[in-house]
Structure 1
Amino acid sequence: MRHRHLPLLRTAVATVLLTAPVVLAPPSAAADSFSDQCEYPNDSYPGRPWSLQRVQLDELWSQSKGKGVRVAVIDTGVDVRNPQLKDAVDVKSGRNFLPKGLKDEDGEPIERGDENGTTDTVGHGTKVAGIIAARPTDETGFVGLAPEATIIPVQQNDAEGHGDTETLAESIRYAVQAKADVINISQDTSNAVEPDPDLKAAVDEALAREVVVVASAGNDGLGGNVKKTYPASYEGVLAVAASDRNNERASFSQSGDFVDVAAPGVDMISTVPRGGHCSDNGTSFSAPYVAGVAALIKAKHPTWTGRQIVAQIEQTAERTIAGHDRLVGWGVVDPVRALTEDDRPIETPRPQEGLARAEAPVAAEFPLGETADERNARLATYVAVGAAIVVVGLGGAAVAIRDARRRARSTEVRDGHGAT
């Protein structure tokens, strides 16, 4: 009996956002010509995407650039013909797990792609890889959050959804063998049905090897829909929801108690096959944003466990309540805080710590009488004026006494003359 298919989240997003226009982040004037029609290759995005504008990249990269960390992208493959991914991908470690002998609806053979996972006819995996580790270039302001990390391309799905839980479990086990430090899975099972236990076993094996497993939460969240998705719902997996420019849950993003954090997932610019960039939406592109942050932490703290890296991301996320909620989990990921507020590792996030509470403005005092300072000033004035009066009074008295003495002597002299 075959396992349930694992459709790409890109397909789900296309369904959810069919009537919603794709709007690019406000770019520079030169970016007005950037096309929102995704073709391979496509134009380069000239500005800095909003998801990167929210991060002080210089401060972030002064802490870590992800050097030496290996991130497995289990997806539709990663096209290394995009110049920003050419030096980011370990081609020798890539692998293709799509079943052989695939045929389309007309019975025609489907090209399976390169065995090293570097064929991507869908573009989904190439976008995911770019968000994690695209190298910088003068042609665009887009760059991966961990621009010195290494991508392991694992091709496990395609546009027809031929990937299933069996091939996903195989891909996870292979990623561990290929020495992945982080695994990104931007897909989930059909209808959110819990899959064969072997998939959970593969995830548990990766977690036991201290691999950080990041998975997208899903895009079936319109109307407040709440349900678990897999593998995101497995214990230990870092489940990522999508946030918008206001750091709020994107309307399509899946909600539930299993959601751990949120990250930008609206109008996400990234690399596409054969070169250039396109915009897309979905938790598929929130997950690699977090995987990039995990790679940065791993590079800076190579001895930290997978659980400690996850807890650090959760603890430093931007949140408005003391604790976890089902919309954005522990909050929206803050890459700079995750890399700078890291004095010691933690195993679990602490609800009360790191919560940014706005301070209420303090009203200015409105004194009904004189203040202590005013009273002191008044008394000092009285003393000074009193002293001046005393001085003047003493001076005047001295003059009066002197004049009186002079008059008395004059009278004595006159009287003496008259008697003689």
Structure 2
Amino acid sequence: MNRGISWTATLLAIAAFALCAGQGVAVGAMPPPVDPLMLPEDGPAAPPQATQQRTLCVPAVSGGDGANVPPAQLDLAFDAVWPITTGAGQRVAVIDTGVSRHPRLPNLEPGGDYVGAADGTEDCDAHGTVVAGLIGAQPVTGSGFSGAAPGATIITIRQSSSAYSLAGSQGDPNIAENSSGYGNVDTMAMAVRHAADMGATVINISEVACKSAAEGINDQRLGAAIQYAALVKDIVVVAAAGNVGSGGCKSQNPTPSPLTPHADLWNSVNTLASPAWYDDFVLTVGSVDPNGAASSFSLGGPWVDVAAPGTAVVSLHPTEPGLTNGTYGPDGSVQAINGTSFAAPYVAATAALVRSRYPDLTAAQVVQRIESTAHAPAEGWNPYVGHGVVDPLAAVTALPSDAETYPLGHHTSTLAALPVPPPPDNRARDAALLGVAAVGSLGVLALLSSFPIRRVFAERGHRSRRP
């Protein structure tokens, strides 16, 4: 038996080594301590350097409309939540490539532009508009598609664009980029601070900057901005986990080793993702496929908290009044809309629904409620789906735990007391009872008085029978 255990351990060790070898050497890292002094100043949104548009905007496909509800929206059953809340009163900041004005986004509020000279409502990448539509698009007759929290207001802040770059110069190689064009962790930090000061209650960041653990990420300003939003401004910050093969996320992080199932995964990280890795302040979202399994492209890590559908997405078209279900690649081919970028807005919308239903809930309590009501994997948590796929209806309706005590999101009113009814008239009943009692008493007396008489007759009979 001992020899069999030894061979099993050896084979597991070889398998674990091969897995790590195929993914690169794990280095391990932790986010740097947040320094509040690194928080960027707020001010009018504008690019910190001169920029220019170098390529054409990304064209989007017209498609996906009709009476059928998109699979992701159907799986999460947001329509079951809308009779309770639609997210009214919540302000969701979409920090992205901008959000185009669209007839199904009447509650769109310009928040500024860190890429060009617009106000945040110019989307040259078809990315931010898709994200915003998943959160706040209005339902219309004949269309099965709707945003998950159609009552919420969308604040659009353009922070990156693949069509723009620095005017006449290259970016700083020491600053992690979250876009193949313009946009980095510093502009994201400014956008987060700006969104926080604009009164956002939820911030959605469907952008990721990745570096290898050996290189590290120079993102201290972003860390300070994320902490400011989450702790000082009490905002739920939702971030995409990242996609392997894009945004600098070159390799997948290792899976937990079967030899050390309880090991600290932070010690085996080889790909860092920001702002996702600021786990104390961010609700990080991975992607699942239509079968509920982690999407092959979804970057794992110890910072992943929950998951949502992120494949075959349908949402608002950036330049037309209808919908889109894809974009055109450089060669003219149609590319489906997939990624953790599009899983995150479903979770941001869920946060808006919860905050609307429970307005006195803190950001930390919202996060705890979303995590605790998710459909957990068999092991309870894993680095690809976190605590599991979110359940919006459960997050909104679940009874509070012992650690959560807060009022519901509605007003109570005092009802007038019912009038005291008059005492019943029991006179007839009392008279009947008295009559019955009197008759009963007379019967008892008659019975008792008969005892001496019966005794006399008994004695006379006895004497008469003597011999």
Query: TM-score per shorter chain, which class?
Result: 0.5 to 0.7
Q: 1-side partners of 2:89 and 2:402: how far apart?
A: 20
> Helix, strand or coil for the counterpart of 1:266?
coil
Gap change, CA 1:271 and 1:315, over 3 Å in 2:
same
Deviation at 1:224, TM superposition (A): 4.9
Q: Give the AA of the match of 1:96.
A: D
Deviations 1:262-301 (A, max 9, x none): 1000111111212322230000000111000000000001
Matches within 5 A, 1:303-314: 303-314=360-371
**Which among 185, 208, 218 is matched to residue 242 of structure 2?**
218
Q: 2-side partners of 1:141 and 1:345: how far apart?
A: 39
Q: Give the AA of the match of 1:217.
A: A
Deviations 1:33-58 (A, max 9, x none): xxxxx945724511210011113344
Matches within 5 A, 1:333-352: 333-344=390-401, 346=403
**Which among 363, 385, 391 is matched to residue 328 of structure 1?**
385
- Runs of 5+ consecutive residues of structure 2 not aligned to the other structure: 1-57, 164-180, 255-270, 326-336, 405-467
Q: 2-side partners of 1:89 and 1:267: how far apart?
A: 25
Deviation at 1:225, TM superposition (A): 3.7
**8 Å CA contact 1:308, 1:345 repeated in 2:** no
> Helix, strand or coil for the counterpart of 2:353?
helix
1:200 aligns with 2:223: yes
Matches within 5 A, 1:2-401: 39-40=59-60, 42-43=62-63, 45-46=65-66, 47-80=68-101, 82-85=102-105, 87-91=106-110, 94-98=111-115, 112-114=116-118, 116-160=119-163, 161-191=181-211, 193-208=216-231, 209-220=233-244, 224-226=252-254, 227-234=271-278, 235-274=280-319, 275-279=321-325, 280-321=337-378, 323-344=380-401, 346=403
Across the two proteins, how many residue pairs are aligned to each other? 292
Deviation at 1:196, TM superposition (A): 2.7
Gap change, CA 1:324 and 1:41, over 3 Å in 2:
closer
Deviations 1:339-363 (A, max 9, x none): 111435857xxxxxxxxxxxxxxxx
Identity %: 41
4+ residue runs over 4 A deviation: 38-41, 221-224, 344-347
**8 Å CA contact 1:189, 1:195 repeated in 2:** no
Q: Give the AA of the match of 1:230.
A: S
Gap change, CA 1:295 and 1:214, over 3 Å in 2:
same
**8 Å CA contact 1:308, 1:346 repeated in 2:** no
**8 Å CA contact 1:228, 1:258 repeated in 2:** no
**8 Å CA contact 2:211, 2:272 repeated in 1:** no
- Runs of 5+ consecutive residues of structure 1 not aligned to the other structure: 1-37, 99-111, 348-420
Q: 2-side partners of 1:198 and 1:131: how far apart?
A: 29
Using structure 2 for the length normalisation, give the TM-score.
Answer: 0.60
Q: 1-side partners of 2:122 and 2:140: how far apart?
A: 23
> Helix, strand or coil for the counterpart of 2:200?
coil
Map of 1:368 onto structure 2: none
**8 Å CA contact 1:217, 1:239 repeated in 2:** yes
**8 Å CA contact 1:240, 1:262 repeated in 2:** yes
Q: Which moved more, 1:215-224 or 1:322-331?
A: 215-224
Q: Give the AA of the match of 2:92.
A: V
Q: 2-side partners of 1:260 and 1:267: how far apart?
A: 22
Deviation at 1:223, TM superposition (A): 7.8
**8 Å CA contact 1:304, 1:345 repeated in 2:** no
Q: 2-side partners of 1:340 and 1:292: how far apart?
A: 15
> Helix, strand or coil for the counterpart of 2:81?
helix
Q: 2-side partners of 1:213 and 1:68: how far apart?
A: 17
**8 Å CA contact 1:311, 1:346 repeated in 2:** no
> Helix, strand or coil for the counterpart of 2:315?
strand
Using structure 1 for the length normalisation, give the TM-score.
Answer: 0.66
**8 Å CA contact 2:241, 2:340 repeated in 1:** yes
**8 Å CA contact 2:78, 2:392 repeated in 1:** no
> Helix, strand or coil for the counterpart of 2:239?
strand
> Helix, strand or coil for the counterpart of 1:324?
coil
Q: 1-side partners of 2:62 and 2:218: how far apart?
A: 37
Q: Which moved more, 1:124-133 or 1:194-203?
A: 194-203
Gap change, CA 1:195 and 1:293, over 3 Å in 2:
same
Q: 1-side partners of 2:91 and 2:338: how far apart?
A: 25
Map of 2:171 onto structure 1: none
**8 Å CA contact 2:152, 2:352 repeated in 1:** yes
**8 Å CA contact 2:100, 2:122 repeated in 1:** yes
> Helix, strand or coil for the counterpart of 1:142?
coil
**8 Å CA contact 2:195, 2:203 repeated in 1:** yes
Deviation at 1:59, TM superposition (A): 2.3
Q: Give the AA of the match of 1:333.
A: V
Q: Give the AA of the match of 2:273.
A: T
Q: Give the AA of the match of 2:121.
A: T
Q: Give the AA of the match of 1:148.
A: G
Gap change, CA 1:344 and 1:90, over 3 Å in 2:
farther
